[in-house]
Amino acid sequence: MKAFRSTALVAGISLFGCAVYVVAQQGPQSESSETVARPKKKVDTNRSDPNLPADATAPDANSDLPKIPSKFNTKDKIAPEGSPTFKSDVTTVQVDVAVLDNKGRFIPKIPRGNFRVLEDGAPQQLSGFSVGDNAPMTVALVIEFSNLFQQYWTQGWYQTLVASYGFVETLKPEDYVAVIAYDMRPEILSDFTTDRMKTQEALQRLRIPGFSESNLFDALVDTEQRMKDIEGRKAIVLIASGRDTFSKLTFDKARRAIQEAAVPVYAIGLLQAAREMADAYGAMGPIQRLDFLQADNEMKTFAKETGGQSYFPRFYGEFPSIFRSIQDALRNQYSLSYHPSNQARDGSFRKIKVELVNPETGEQLKIVENGKPIKYQIIAKAGYTAPREVE
């Protein structure tokens, strides 16, 4: 039923197609690429045995050396009597926080004493505080590219390319970026790299989509899990309509997995103006309208709960300010850390709330610019999953 409704809606939206010239690209490659999750095996070019296969890993030069004797036997898993034992239950939680004014600009120079972190409503004592100033980023560009809304020369296809190419142009030379397109499944077009030529080659493959499925939940969770152990400033920039047609994961399961991975999601919703035009011309019924509203809310939820932001532009002129807002939020962040007062290893989800307060009165902090108070918003992840006892 979803596929039938989507086909009808595509017919309406496709009326607003736009012809754009794009450089010819190579077709999809079936060979799997090296990824963060599955690095290629290293090959020693100085091997002396010519009979080894070409993709074999050379033996370690020290593999024939005798093992260092130890009085601990891993099979017994019991330390000798009288040996000291150590156990640590301390957990450190790190929260990256962006404070933005009502124009989306980062507000700098906020002292440590003005930040208050609540975990499940209980105030926490900060153990670390730092400010990132134009720090390099590691970004995964996750792009919906299917026959659902990205047919060749249509409005959705053109808007997808404008958003993708435009964001890449705002990156700095030291930033790492990966390009991942998804329809039935996610495909890594280029892995994390600072080589912009490889990134451009990956984007040039976004020409003719192959399938009409758009499995957002599966693609987003797969990318989150690949990135969760990466250090430093990292984020997922999601460029999509938000519709999910055939994912193996439900919204609830995807939501929990994304919360646990805690990689910020910056979502850019496509086809906002086209949807309004299709609705005005009678090409979109109430069920399709409800499907799109649900998709928007899901993207907002993913962004809010991971400490990211969501954007739904109706005009192409809005893209530069969106890219600038993402850059400011990622490069200029306050990093807070604390040891939670609740040290229970129960695997439960702990809610986090970050506030700006006056340390003397405990009231909400008022930020004044040019003699006038300004409104601001605090961007931070919604919480984290506590470790379990087995971990």
Does residue 390 sit within a domain?
A: no
Q: How far is Cα 39 from Cα 129, in angstroms, rounded to an integer? A: 34
- Among 33, 15, 40, CA closest to 279: 15
Residues 311 and 209 in one domain: yes
Residues 252 and 208 in one domain: yes
Does residue 28 sit within a domain?
A: no
Asked if residue 23 lies in contact with residue 204, where contact means CB atoms within 8 angstroms, the answer is yes
Position 387 scores a pLDDT of: 86
Residues 368 and 314 in one domain: no
Does residue 242 sit within a domain?
A: yes
Residues 304 and 354 in one domain: no
Provide the domain limits for residue 241.
136-330
The separation between CA 121 and the C-alpha centre of its own chain, rounded to angstroms, equals: 27
Asked if residue 187 lies in contact with residue 215, where contact means CB atoms within 8 angstroms, the answer is no
Does residue 37 sit within a domain?
A: no
Position 7 scores a pLDDT of: 45
Position 103 scores a pLDDT of: 77
Q: How far is Cα 115 from Cα 97, in angstroms, rounded to an integer? A: 10
Question: What CATH number is associated with residue 218?
Answer: 3.40.50.410
Position 48 scores a pLDDT of: 45
Residues 229 and 292 in one domain: yes
The separation between CA 373 and the C-alpha centre of its own chain, rounded to angstroms, equals: 33
Position 127 scores a pLDDT of: 93
Position 385 scores a pLDDT of: 87
Residues 150 and 242 in one domain: yes
Residues 169 and 221 in one domain: yes
Of 297, 314, 330, the one marking the end of a domain is 330
Per-residue pLDDT of the chain (391 residues; tens, 9 = 90+): 444 444 444 445 544 444 333 333 333 344 444 433 344 444 444 444 445 444 444 444 444 545 444 444 444 444 455 544 444 455 889 898 989 888 778 888 899 999 999 999 999 999 999 887 677 889 999 999 999 899 988 999 999 999 999 999 999 999 999 999 999 999 999 999 999 999 999 999 999 998 999 999 999 999 999 999 888 789 999 999 999 999 999 999 999 999 989 899 999 999 999 888 888 888 888 899 999 999 999 999 999 999 899 999 999 999 999 999 898 888 888 889 999 999 888 888 999 999 999 999 989 999 988 888 889 989 899 899 888 876 4
Does residue 30 sit within a domain?
A: no
Whole-Å CA distances, 90 to 14, 163, 224, 342, 386 = 56, 43, 26, 10, 12
**Beta strands 367-369; 372-374: pairing state:** antiparallel
Does residue 266 sit within a domain?
A: yes
Q: Could you give the count of Cα atoms lying within 13 Å of 92 in the half-sphere of its Cβ?
A: 8
User: Which residues, 6+ apart, have CB-to-CB distance to 267 below 8 Å?
Assistant: 238, 240, 242, 299, 300, 302, 303, 308, 309, 310, 311
Does residue 204 sit within a domain?
A: yes
Residues 120 and 243 in one domain: no
Asked if residue 141 lies in contact with residue 101, where contact means CB atoms within 8 angstroms, the answer is no
Q: How far is Cα 50 from Cα 229, in angstroms, rounded to an integer? A: 37
Residues 116 and 179 in one domain: no
Residues 263 and 191 in one domain: yes
Residues 157 and 201 in one domain: yes
Does residue 227 sit within a domain?
A: yes
pTM flag (> 0.85): no
Asked if residue 384 lies in contact with residue 94, where contact means CB atoms within 8 angstroms, the answer is no
Residues 189 and 274 in one domain: yes
In a 10 Å sphere around its CB, with 0-12 CB exposed, 13-18 middle and 19+ buried, how is residue 236 labelled? buried
The domain tally of the chain equals: 2
CA dihedral 104, 105, 108, 112 (to 10 degrees): 0
Q: Let me know the angle formed at the C-alpha of 312 by 308 and 317, rounded to the nearest 5 degrees.
A: 110
